[in-house]
Structure 1
Amino acid sequence: MTRFLPLRPLLYVLATLLLAGIVHILVVLTVPGHVRVDAFEKLARFGPDRTFNVLRDIAPGSEPLPMLDPAMKHAICRFRLTDGPVHMSASVDSPFWSLGLFNGAGEVVYSLNNRTSGSGELAMLVLSPEQLSILRENPPENLDELIVIETEESDGFALLRAFVPDAAHKSSVDAGLAAARCATLSGRSR
């Protein structure tokens, strides 16, 4: 007579492993909801709100923000729509520039680049649905020239990136980013 391992202890081990696997998967899936990422607050260190703040050049080990491309120059504008609509404009002498519009948690809300902007220049208005309703009653003269972005997010930031093809273009790209505007709709910076 051959003895087999008792079946009951083997079933307990398998059930325990299955239960542990399910608990592990549930914990991994729910962790992002419990961790509060607030990119908006972290960006306050770069300068005042409603102004494009040009970031320093990227050097290995001292990046101002994670995952920035060292071949690009970057400028950040932080804003709160509770302070009014935000008008952004820029003309950057670069073969490629892009703008990413993010909510306060750092999630992309909208993006465009010099090829998709229409004119090759940045002309954007960011506002809430309520602000858009008011704007429709009394639109600015240049509304047809603006890319209008309506968002429910009250806190956000824009990251303007411009490619620097070589050292000779660095000063013109820097000048374009320094001249970029991020202001209230009336045109005055905060």
Structure 2
Amino acid sequence: MSILLPTRLRLGLGALAVLALSVVVHVLVILAIPRQATHSSYSEAATFGPDRQFNLLPPLRAGAEPLPGLDPAMKHATCRYQLDNGPVLFTASVPVPFWSIGLFDDTGEVIYSLNNRTAGSDILSMLLITPEQLSILRENPPEDLDKLIVIETRASRGFALLRALSPAAARDLEVDLALKTAYCGSFS
């Protein structure tokens, strides 16, 4: 009987060691996945057109979405930016019952989100700026600064995703035009 106890104990400790090792490997793999990703939404957004300009995304088709997680009931435009080149001004007039804009850093994390209902207006007027740029702007603020929603961020690179609900297929061209003419560029 004394021989069985150490054997059972060794088997139990061995099973416990294997379980602990598998948990450690699992956690390390989960933590390494974001660093090993070969592409991101930020890099994918570059394929739709130049930076600091809204670029209309193609219509959504099942299995061939231009970016992950897009709503098929909406029309989409994206704008990549780098704040090293100065603050970015976003303006748009989208004549639909609902629009929203999401600001994402270069890893795809949401920085800020806004829609026409929370903005209290059908017109988008938003400035994205770093803390350093905001300090400089406060020294000599422009007259219309109080009309802008000012978003301060430390993320120097990212992209904006402007979404608009097209209430009917007959208005798709009008919504597309509004998204194409939305402004994403320099603030002077």
Fold match (TM-score > 0.5): yes
Q: Distance in 1 between matches of 2:164 and 2:35?
A: 35
For 1:66-145, list aligned pairs within 5 A.
66-145=68-147
1:72: Cα distance to partner?
Answer: 0.6
- 1:57 aligned onto 2:59: yes
Larger helix proportion of the pair: 2
Contact 2:41–2:67 (CA<8 Å) still a contact in 1? no
SS at match of 2:58: coil
Identity %: 52
**When the two structures are aligned, how many residues end up with a matched partner?**
185
Whether 1:155 and 2:157 are equivalent positions in the alignment is yes
Return the alpha-carbon distance in structure 2 between the equivalents of residues 69 and 34 of structure 1.
Answer: 27
Cα 1:63–1:22 change in 2 (3 A) is closer
Structure 1 unaligned residues grouped into runs of 5+: none
3-state SS of the aligned residue for 2:117? Answer: coil
Q: CA RMSD in A?
A: 2.0
User: Superposition pairs for residues 24-39 of structure 1, below 5 Å?
Assistant: 24-32=25-33, 34-35=35-36, 38-39=40-41
> What amino acid sits opposite 2:9 in the alignment?
R
The list of structure 1 runs, each at least 4 consecutive aligned residues, that deviate by more than 6 angstroms after superposition, is none
Q: CA deviation at 1:32?
A: 3.7
Query: Any gaps of 5 or more consecutive residues in structure 2?
Result: none
The TM-score, its normalising length taken from structure 2, stands at 0.89
Deviations 1:137-185 (A, max 9, x none): 1112211110001111111110000011211221221121122111100
